[in-house]
């Protein structure tokens, strides 16, 4: 990969980190009790699919952690960085594996990849909250995190499908970003 492609990839990663921040911090769906669902995971999924596991994970972790810091959830920021970066790695690697096996339905491959990433998210926050708040809080928050996961899975899959039909996915992928 030449220097121009590297610069392009870093620029896209920064753009995705900003999109993840905005979608997490400003596109919120309030949930009963405490917390909210957001559309940040949509862009976590897209960043991983379009940039690969390393840059996609960096964008996911940075954008999500910055949103926690800006919203007053600083305690969650380190865990969010790790969890969202792990989601990016999982999405990228599972999608790459599925599509290399000759699977013809990209949208299903995206949904499967996103599903496993969202499982990582729910389990990651569950474990984190057990250590910080105890089992009772972690169990209660699992419902909200599951809703968040479903929103991320659905929106990421739909957005990928729309971008794929528009030709943007193949245009970016053809620049040898991975």
Is the distance from CB of 172 to CB of 3 less than 8 angstroms?
no
Whether 82 is in a domain gets the answer yes
Closest Cα to residue 121, out of 24, 14, 16, 17?
Answer: 24
pTM score, two decimals?
0.90
Domain containing 60 equals: 3-173
Tell whether 8 is covered by a domain. yes
Whether 53 is covered by a domain: the verdict is yes
Give the pLDDT confidence score for residue 1 in this predicted structure.
61
57 domain-assigned? yes
Regions of the chain where pLDDT drops below 70: 1, 33-34, 104, 170-178
Residue 101 inside a domain? The answer is yes
The answer to whether residue 178 sits within a structural domain is: no
Question: Which of helix, strand or coil describes residue 167?
Answer: coil
Closest CA to 117 of 90, 152, 145, 143: 90
pLDDT value, residue 4? 73
In the chain, the number of structural domains is: 1
The rounded distance, in Å, linking the Cα atoms of 110 and 131 is 32
Examine residue 109 and state whether it is found in any structural domain, yes or no. yes
Q: Is there a domain that residue 126 lies in?
A: yes
Residue 174: predicted pLDDT: 52
Check residue 61 and give its pLDDT.
Answer: 97
The vertex-159 CA angle with 24 and 70, nearest 5°, equals: 10
Residue 30 belongs to domain with CATH number: 1.10.1760.20
């Amino acid at each position: 990969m030449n220097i121009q492609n590297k610069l392009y990839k870093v620029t896209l990663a920064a753009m995705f980190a900003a999109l993840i921040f905005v979608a997490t911090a400003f596109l919120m769906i309030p949930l009963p009790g405490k917390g909210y669902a957001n559309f940040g995971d949509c862009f976590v999924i897209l960043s991983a699919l379009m940039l690969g596991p390393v840059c996609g994970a960096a964008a996911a972790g940075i954008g999500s952690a910055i949103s926690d810091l800006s919203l007053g959830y600083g305690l969650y920021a380190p865990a969010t960085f790790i969890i969202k970066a792990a989601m990016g790695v999982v999405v990228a690697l599972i999608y790459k594996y599925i599509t290399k096996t000759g699977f013809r339905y990209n949208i299903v491959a995206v949904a499967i990849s996103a599903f496993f990433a969202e499982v990582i998210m729910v389990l990651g926050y569950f474990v984190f909250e057990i250590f910080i708040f105890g089992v009772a809080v972690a169990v209660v928050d699992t419902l909200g995190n599951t809703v968040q996961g479903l929103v991320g899975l659905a929106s990421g899959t739909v957005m990928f499908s729309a971008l794929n039909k528009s030709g943007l996915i193949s245009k970016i992928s053809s620049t040898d970003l991975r």
